A and B are shown apart, each in its own frame.
Chain A
Amino acid sequence: MSTPIIKVDAISKSFGSFKVLDGLSMQVMPGEKLALIGPSGSGKTTILRILMTLEKIDGGHIQIDGEQLYHMERNGQLLPADERHLTKMRQKIGMVFQLFNLFPHKCVIDNVTLAPMLTKGTPRAAAEKRAMELLDMVGMSDKAKSMPAQLSGGQKQRVAIARALALSPKIMLFDEVTSALDPELVEEVLNVMRKLAAETDMTMLLVTHEMGFAHDFADRVLFFDRGRIVEEGKPDEIFRHPKQERTQGFLKKIIAAGHRV
């Protein structure tokens, strides 16, 4: 049995007096596709942001690929990570945001090539070649020279996925990547993600309200509530036969809101 690529151990995090994560622990195996579901404020987005080092943690430990994320081992002691250690660790992780966060002053291909050129020193020609392959994969190669403002939300999100992939991370985090899209644009982004899951062995964590997609896409579903994982299991178990009352209540509300499960 292989070792987990992500090991989250008793992470706690508060915003002011509000405890978002309450001693959260979880493990993810390499190549696993995980769906994180739950009501808003349950901490599912926060744990993604913590894995991307966008938030500080109050307590606990995280291991990525066998190495501490927020700590460095020095002479057998665990010290808080410095910028250099974080930079090294971030190479393993990529993230796609709900609001795309494209660079508005750069055209599509420059959005994709900037990170490899800056952080890996990839020559422009090689970075552009790779970018075109990625843009091709997400169906955006014909818009390589367009500015983000000229794209639809779905197109922006597909570019954002290509941009994150350009650094070849081992782990990809998707934070409600279709929540900001018009309904008719959701499917084009989900299709890209299906393709990604089928063609790569990347570990993927996805926070989503698209229960139907989570069901088809995920190997495992985690249900979050009040900063903890209340229930986890295979998609069929969680969606068809939830054991916990809170999971049942949440799914009932989601279905009442018209989402397909």
Chain B
Amino acid sequence: MTQWSGYLGLILQGALVTIELTLMGSVLALIMAFLAGMGRVSRFFALRWLATVYIEFFRGTSIFVQLFFAYFVLPLIGLELTPLQAGVLALGLNVGAYAAEVVRGAIQSVGREQYEACIALNFGRWQGMRHVILPQALLIMLPTFGNNAIELLKATSVVSLISLADLTFQAQVVRSQTGNTLVPFATILIIYFALALIISWGIRSLERRMARGLDGVRV
């Protein structure tokens, strides 16, 4: 009879690594999303161009390759990253590229009349963006940000390939040590699902809070 409690501890350690990766990756993704998303609607050509290149490149190549690049290729040019750093970098940049388009779309979906009110009230471009456009756009971004965060959570499993001991990695360890496939993989399946549920729930309650008072405005 296998001692499952010890192995469960191993998997829970992996869960912590997965949560850590998800949180840190999401923070980086969020920063990149706003930088690139607002870059896309900038009036400066160079910024628009830079943002477009970033988005197209990181959406257009596999996260797998990006991770290997960060971990195995960057050291060749003198940039040594720990597996965690490489994981966060690849996940954040990859998901950030998708989320950047969400930011752009949301900013552009705020009605023209809101921009015109900003001009009529003599706001500077940044003032209008910060106080009028972004607060409204944020609400439009949130549901898709939730999707992006769940995508990121699931994508964390690729870091097991650079020997970072996340959920998937630990499940494989347990499998090779016990010869049992069902128990470890069923366990991490449930844990991934539970984490995704927590993200969904968190985003939904955030959405509810932000939408308060806006009834009739949102569709």
The chain A residues found within 8 Å of chain B, CB to CB, are 52-54, 83, 87, 90-91, 93-95, 97, 99, 101-105, 107, 114-115, 118-119, 147-150, 163-164, 167
Subset of 30 A-B contacts with CB under 8 Å: A52-B119, A54-B116, A83-B125, A87-B122, A87-B124, A90-B120, A97-B113, A97-B120, A99-B113, A101-B116, A101-B117, A101-B120, A104-B217, A105-B139, A105-B214, A114-B131, A115-B122, A115-B123, A118-B127, A118-B131, A119-B122, A119-B123, A119-B124, A119-B127, A147-B215, A149-B215, A149-B216, A149-B217, A150-B213, A164-B121
Say whether, besides A87-B124, A90-B122, A104 and B214 are in contact (CB < 8 Å): yes
The residues of A that contact B132 with a CB separation of less than 8 Å are: 103, 114
Q: How many A-B residue pairs have CB under 8 A?
A: 71
Say whether, besides A101-B116, A105-B135, A149 and B214 are in contact (CB < 8 Å): yes
The residues of A that contact B124 with a CB separation of less than 8 Å are: 87, 118-119
Q: How far is the CA of A120 from the CA of B144 in the complex (A)?
A: 37
Residue of B nearest to A147 (CB): B213
Say whether A118 contacts B113, CB under 8 Å: no
Residue of A nearest to B136 (CB): A105
The residues of B that contact A119 with a CB separation of less than 8 Å are: 121-124, 127
The residues of A that contact B217 with a CB separation of less than 8 Å are: 104, 148-149
A149 interface neighbour in B127, B131, B213, Cβ under 8 Å:
B213
Residue of A nearest to B127 (CB): A118
The residues of A that contact B116 with a CB separation of less than 8 Å are: 54, 97, 101
B114 at interface by CB-CB < 8 Å = yes
The residues of A that contact B136 with a CB separation of less than 8 Å are: 103-105
Q: CB-defined interface of B121-159 with A at 8 Å, one 1/0 digit per residue?
A: 111110100011001100100000000000000000000
Q: How far is the CA of A91 from the CA of B122 in the complex (A)?
A: 7
The residues of A that contact B123 with a CB separation of less than 8 Å are: 115, 118-119
CB distance from B190 to the nearest CB of A (A): 39
Residue of B nearest to A90 (CB): B122
Say whether, besides A105-B135, A114-B131, A147-B214, A54 and B119 are in contact (CB < 8 Å): yes
Q: How far is the CA of A94 from the CA of B121 in the complex (A)?
A: 7
The residues of B that contact A147 with a CB separation of less than 8 Å are: 213-215
Q: How far is the CA of A52 from the CA of B122 in the complex (A)?
A: 10
B121 interface neighbour in A105, A115, A148, A149, Cβ under 8 Å:
A115
CB distance from B106 to the nearest CB of A (A): 13
CB distance from B77 to the nearest CB of A (A): 41
Q: How far is the CA of A102 from the CA of B121 in the complex (A)?
A: 11
The residues of A that contact B135 with a CB separation of less than 8 Å are: 105
Say whether A101 contacts B122, CB under 8 Å: no
Q: How far is the CA of A107 from the CA of B127 in the complex (A)?
A: 18
The residues of A that contact B121 with a CB separation of less than 8 Å are: 114-115, 119, 163-164, 167
The residues of A that contact B120 with a CB separation of less than 8 Å are: 52, 54, 90, 93-95, 97, 101, 164
The residues of B that contact A164 with a CB separation of less than 8 Å are: 120-121
Residue of A nearest to B215 (CB): A149
The residues of A that contact B139 with a CB separation of less than 8 Å are: 105
CB distance from B65 to the nearest CB of A (A): 41
Closest 3 CB pairs of A and B: A147-B213, A101-B117, A115-B121
Which positions 202-219 of chain B face chain A at CB distance < 8 Å? Answer: 213-217
Residue of B nearest to A163 (CB): B121
Residue of A nearest to B125 (CB): A83
Residue of B nearest to A116 (CB): B121
CB distance from A99 to the nearest CB of B (A): 6
The residues of B that contact A150 with a CB separation of less than 8 Å are: 213, 215
Q: How far is the CA of A91 from the CA of B123 in the complex (A)?
A: 10
Say whether B213 contacts A107, CB under 8 Å: yes
The residues of B that contact A95 with a CB separation of less than 8 Å are: 120
The residues of B that contact A167 with a CB separation of less than 8 Å are: 121-122
